[in-house]
Amino acid sequence: MSVEAVPELTPQAYKTDEHPIWCPGCGDFGVLSSLYQSLAGLQIPPKDLVIVSGIGCSGRTPGFVHSYGFHVLHGRVLPVALGVRLANPKLTVIGVGGDGDGFAIGGGHIPHAARRNLDMVYLVMDNATYGLTKGQYSPTAPKGFQAGSTPYGNIEKPLNPLAMLIAYGATFVARGYSGKPKELTELIKKAIDHKGFAFIDVISPCITFYNTYKVIPPMLAEVPASHDPSNRAKAFELSLLEDRMYLGLFYQVQEPTFEDGVAEVIGRAQASSRPRLEEIFAEFS
């Protein structure tokens, strides 16, 4: 009996009938396109894929991807993603959100997702501004950034997402740029293939409130070929350099995942539960 061939999944197979309503030129278009390309490159069936998003312009992403989707409360991408993974570890889980959703209201969840090494991908579309609510400054906005909320310039030092995730214990840390979709596609594919918590800070300019398309390209450079991504100290050092905005893989190591630990605990509990239950029952006989 012949086996019917399964049709190859193309990027188009992951597109829904919903059309993005982002501003023309928004960096999120490039991120979404790279996500389509990555999923097709890895041939991930839509039935085995879950996109979890937060609040913000990027929060609409699940509606544009043919998969299961969960648009959660502000800043709660990671707790919901953890629940999905534990409920069904066979699913590929990708969390998406902005720098405000991830590093401000949701910032308290990042260290715990990282240290637990939950097997998932977290894409942060970083534009250094709150684009959905008219361009206020975000945790990654540079000093001097002028917006409605900081008319005389931002006085706060910007947060460094890469250094933060490396310090918290994430096992895959990278940076991409929406204007380099080919390179970003490869980074997302590597992140999905990685077994553990994979974080990508994607520079995704806001064309309306903080247009950095002319400022960013001259600052970009690829992570040096000599860089050893398994060296945590060197990865941290690279993340702190301010002379360039390096793109690529900063850090990657393999460690047991949170799901591995949960499975081990379940196995130990199942192996010992029956004798313990019998002892308990005996106390009431």
CA distance 157 to 119: 31
Burial of 279 per CB tally in 10 Å (0-12, 13-18, 19+): exposed
* pLDDT at position 42: 98
* pLDDT at position 5: 63
Res. 36: pLDDT tops 90: yes
CA distance 253 to 75: 27
* pLDDT at position 24: 95
Q: What single letter denotes the amino acid at residue 85?
A: R
**17 vs 136 pLDDT, higher one:** 17
Non-local CB neighbours of 194 within 8 Å, separated by 6+ positions: 121, 171, 172, 252
Non-local CB neighbours of 285 within 8 Å, separated by 6+ positions: none
CA distance 34 to 11: 9
Q: What is the mean pLDDT of residues 68-86?
A: 95
Q: Which fold has domain 11-254?
A: Rossmann fold (3.40.50)
pLDDT in tens, 51-61: 999 999 999 99
* pLDDT at position 2: 53
Burial of 135 per CB tally in 10 Å (0-12, 13-18, 19+): buried
* pLDDT at position 161: 97
pLDDT band at 117 (very low <50, low <70, confident <90, very high): very high
Chain mean pLDDT for the chain: 93
* pLDDT at position 273: 61
Q: Which range is least confidently modeled, 98-107, 136-145, 228-237?
A: 136-145
Among 132, 128, 151, CA closest to 141:
128
pLDDT in tens, 15-34: 999 999 899 999 999 999 99
Res. 274: pLDDT tops 70: no
pLDDT band at 200 (very low <50, low <70, confident <90, very high): very high
* pLDDT at position 207: 93
Domain ranges of the chain: 11-254, 256-285
Tokens linked to 177: 């740029």
Could you tell me if 85 and 104 are in contact, meaning their C-beta atoms sit under 8 angstroms apart? no
